[in-house]
Chain A
Amino acid sequence: MPKPHDMGGEPNDEPIDQSDHQKMDWEMRADALHQVLGQKGIRRTDEMRRAMESLDPDLYRSLSYYERWTAALELLMVEKGYLTSDEIDRKVTQLDQGAN
């Protein structure tokens, strides 16, 4: 049974939507953070792919592109011991409070 990312040749009769959306700030920062961590050797593309491919199939299909990246980066950084999910939860709360 192929995992959700492995979609080459899957039945799909949707036309290709050729419109491009304006990247949001957080998407551009997430993209840049990935590249920075890549240059430092902390995150390799094949590792990211493996993390992304391990996401729940329904989640994989429901997330936007950079949301998938973020979910995968969290998995990988927790796995490698850089961060814990609790820490991220707390930081999200802290940032939310700071923004209000």
Chain B
Amino acid sequence: MSEGHDGEHVHPESGEELSVYARRAQAIEALMVEKGVCSTSEVDQMMNMVESRSPSDGAKVVAHAWSDPEFKARLLADPRSALTEIGYSLPDTTPHLAVVENTEQVHHMVVCTLCSCYPRALLGRPPDWYKSFAYRSRAVVDPRGVMREFGLELADSVEVQVLDSTADLRYLVLPRRPAGTENLSEAELAKLVSRDCMIGVTDPHVPEGVAAS
């Protein structure tokens, strides 16, 4: 089976011709602008906003939840209003967001088997692998095998819950706070929180010398 993941139909920006669909995308935008449905500057502004979002936003939220148990409880119960408290106001059109906590007993891993739904407001655009046919197919039948590829070997005693996203509901994983990080500041904690551990395919990685022994 050929896999049409991102990266296969790559054409240089100039010099060579763009693909049929790239040209149709440009034509659709030009027509929508001509018809007054939207403006070029709206698209430009949106592009800048999309670019400005990154997993460091999610990492700050996680670090704050690790540092403030009451905030964590509110974040798990009602993510939208908890996020507003710390300055992240999700647009009204943002789908429902659920935050799920990894514990000693349960590990969550997020997939969108049908396409690519993802908590873009907190993590930016999804990585290519999240949209790949291999991940979409395998995540729900072999989550432990997938996690192993990302370097995480979970104990058999830990229950794995795979969450399949939908158009209306997105998930952010709140990873377990690593041992030995009690003395770290929120900013230092945030550096330990990778994009992939907020998707749940791995756990936060603590570099040597950072954690107190």
Q: Interface on A for B, CB 8 Å cutoff?
A: 5-12, 14-21, 23-33, 35-42, 44-46, 48-49, 52-53, 60-68, 70-71, 73-74, 77, 82-83, 87-88, 91-92, 95-96
Contacts and interface: CB of A to CB of B under 8 A. Distances in A.
A77 B42 CA distance: 18
Given A36-B38, A62-B4, A19 B25 contact: no
Contact of B91 (A26, A27, A32, A39): A39
Contacts of A16: 129, 132, 134-135, 138, 146, 149-150
B140 A36 contact: no
* A35, A62, A77, most chain B CB atoms within 10 A: A35
The 8 tightest CB contacts between A and B, nearest first, are A8-B113, A12-B137, A91-B27, A21-B7, A67-B21, A45-B167, A32-B47, A32-B46
Given A7-B136, A21-B128, A95 B6 contact: no
B21 A71 contact: yes
5 contacts: A15-B134, A24-B13, A27-B22, A32-B43, A41-B93
Interface in B36-70: 37-38, 42-44, 46-47, 50-51
Contact of B6 (A26, A48, A64, A83): A64
Contacts of A44: 167
Interface residues of B, number: 66
Contacts of A27: 22
B137 A64 contact: no
Contact of A74 (B6, B18, B28, B111): B28
Contact of B9 (A23, A36, A53, A64): A64
Contact of B38 (A19, A30, A37, A95): A37
Nearest to A26: B22
B137 A39 contact: no
A70 to B, nearest CB: 4
Contacts of A28: 47, 50-51
Given A8-B140, A17-B5, A32-B50, A66 B25 contact: yes
Contacts of B3: 14, 61
Contact of B29 (A29, A40, A64): A29
